[in-house]
Amino acid sequence: MFEDDQSDDSPQILVVDDEKVIRDILSDFLSMEGFLVRSVEDGVQAVKELQRRTYNLVITDLKMPNMGGLELLEEVRRRKLDVLVVIMTGFGTVETAIAAMKKGAYDYILKPFKVEEVIHIVERGLARQRIEQENTQLRELLGLYRISEAVGSSLDLDDILDMIMEVTLKESGADVATLHMDTTGGTIFGETLRADISREAGAEDVGDLDHETIMGYFEQQRPLLAHGAKVRAFFTRPPQSGRLASFTAIPLRVRDRIFGMLNAYSFTRGKRFNEGSRKLLSVLGARAAISIDNASLLRGLRRANDDLLAANTDLKENFLQTIQGFVSALEENDRYTSGHSERVAVYTQLIASGLGQTEDEVELAVQSGLLHDIGKIGIHYEKLNKPGKLTREEIDMFRQHPEKGKKILEPIPFMAELIPGTYCHHEHWDGSGYPQGLAGKDIPLLGRMIAVGDTYDAMTSDRAYRRALPHQAAVDELQACSGTQFDAELVEIFLRKIEIYRDDRLAEGKDIPR
């Protein structure tokens, strides 16, 4: 007797033998060991059963009417079914069983058999299968990381969402994928933003999800993966077709806030997602969440700028608030850079005032310091914040942020004056910097000022690969690089002003770099 719903996560075993007593013995003992066992009486029925459900292992007699074990093995290979086959045979046909192993059978069992030997062969085979699946999943994971890099490199929200849906269908083998996001600030899954269907699936009704139950899983960090009848627990209205075989849902989470979810549906009988599939989608979901958040921030910033232009009221104050909010959101993703842009803005202000610049010029220097690293919105901190040295690939990725920052600011008229600081703060006085290799006073003044403040703060702040350097060590390094990496005049001004700044903060009882 067969069940229609595969609701048990236990390994699935199919016993094929024309002798009922053999089928019953194996079914009883293997079931007692915790396996889900079904049995049929010949190879023809076995092929039909393998088409209906997914099995881990088949134990088949060698000689049976209609279709024997060798023919069944050939059908398994021809159909490319991912299942181990164990041949049962008598002593007189051992050579045939060995020949079957050469054709792809995993092992053979001699009749009359001992039940414990059968169980040992089954457990060994399932262990091997798990290792092979883990290796396959690892290869898939590496491929998915490469795909997620493409997702993470885009700042266009629509492009990101389209890529996420395409990759979800491809990597999970799902028939339908949906993505829900909070786009209104109201209920968390207020809008189905995307729904993609594979060509093979056709039109499918996906029902109505039970958001409260799903959120309970997400908030408890519980994996959500269900098959057969168990999927109904996650729907207030199940799919009308009534044949949803498997379902998994992944939270989209940024800064401990869940703002949406990614779902995969299988309507194909016998096709269910495994834990490996769920983990692969979790990797994609984590990268997608950051990319969606970054793109949404950028879209919000541009929309805010458009609104300010249209309204033409209090532009300056609102603009500064927009800058500050955007920088704070950017740095919240990385504990090592938290507060970095604000400190660089302060140090740039010290240099600008030391140069005797006008009030407007000093304010521009502050704004440039605040946004100098805005291009890092397209850089993946998890790759850069590591104890060891960066690889060549990681260095190249990091060095893209001035160019990315320039591209972000260019479409926004209010921010055009900030581009020199964002684009040129890694140029060196001697021409050895990047991205353009400018030298001397060809480097815009904003870029030269920010370079000094940026380097000082980097040295006097904790990083994943080292503790913060003492103030004096940072001073010595700036002096050593004066006239090569940095504008010597600006270094002299900064070192004079930073001592006054430190003394003032100490007098006020505030923290300073040690």
DSSP string, 60-105: EESS-SSS-HHHHHHHHHHTT---EEEEEEEGGGHHHHHHHHHTT-
Do 431 and 338 fall into the same domain?
Answer: yes
Do 208 and 120 fall into the same domain?
Answer: no
Do 247 and 178 fall into the same domain?
Answer: yes
Q: What is the pLDDT of residues 326-377, one digit of tens each?
A: 666 666 655 556 678 889 999 999 999 999 999 999 999 998 998 898 888 7
Do 98 and 25 fall into the same domain?
Answer: yes
**Inside any domain, residue 146:** no
Helix crossing, 445-459 with 488-507: angle to 10°?
50
Identify which of 150-159, 189-198, 391-400, 481-490 has the greatest average pLDDT: 481-490
Domain enclosing residue 58, as ranges = 12-131
Q: Are 69 and 61 in contact, with CB atoms under 8 Å apart? A: yes
Do 124 and 166 fall into the same domain?
Answer: no
Q: Quick one: average pLDDT of 230-245? A: 84
Helix (H) or strand (E) holding 57: strand 57-61
Q: What is the pLDDT of residues 380-416, one digit of tens each?
A: 655 556 566 778 887 888 888 899 889 888 877 777 8
Do 281 and 322 fall into the same domain?
Answer: no
Domain count within the chain: 3
Do 332 and 425 fall into the same domain?
Answer: yes
Do 188 and 49 fall into the same domain?
Answer: no
**Domain harbouring 402, CATH code:** 1.10.3210.10
Of 120-124, 179-183, 267-271, 456-460, which range is least confident?
A: 179-183
**Inside any domain, residue 514:** no
**Inside any domain, residue 202:** yes
**Domain harbouring 73, CATH code:** 3.40.50.2300
Do 259 and 330 fall into the same domain?
Answer: no
Backbone angles phi, psi at 38, to 5 degrees: -130, 160
**Inside any domain, residue 402:** yes
- pLDDT above 50 (res 112): yes
**Inside any domain, residue 120:** yes
Of 130-139, 140-149, 342-351, 418-427, which range is least confident?
A: 140-149
Pick from 233, 257, 291: which residue ends a domain? 291
**Inside any domain, residue 244:** yes
- Give dist(CA 377, CA 406) in Å, integer: 12
Nearest residue to 299 (alpha-carbon basis) of 218, 200, 408, 429: 408
- pLDDT above 50 (res 230): yes
pLDDT: which is higher, 90 or 115? 115
Residue 410 is predicted with a pLDDT of: 84
**Domain harbouring 283, CATH code:** 3.30.450.40
Do 374 and 493 fall into the same domain?
Answer: yes
**Inside any domain, residue 410:** yes
Do 338 and 468 fall into the same domain?
Answer: yes
pLDDT: which is higher, 294 or 472? 472
Do 443 and 381 fall into the same domain?
Answer: yes
- Give dist(CA 200, CA 219) in Å, integer: 34
**Inside any domain, residue 2:** no
- Give dist(CA 158, CA 201) in Å, integer: 24
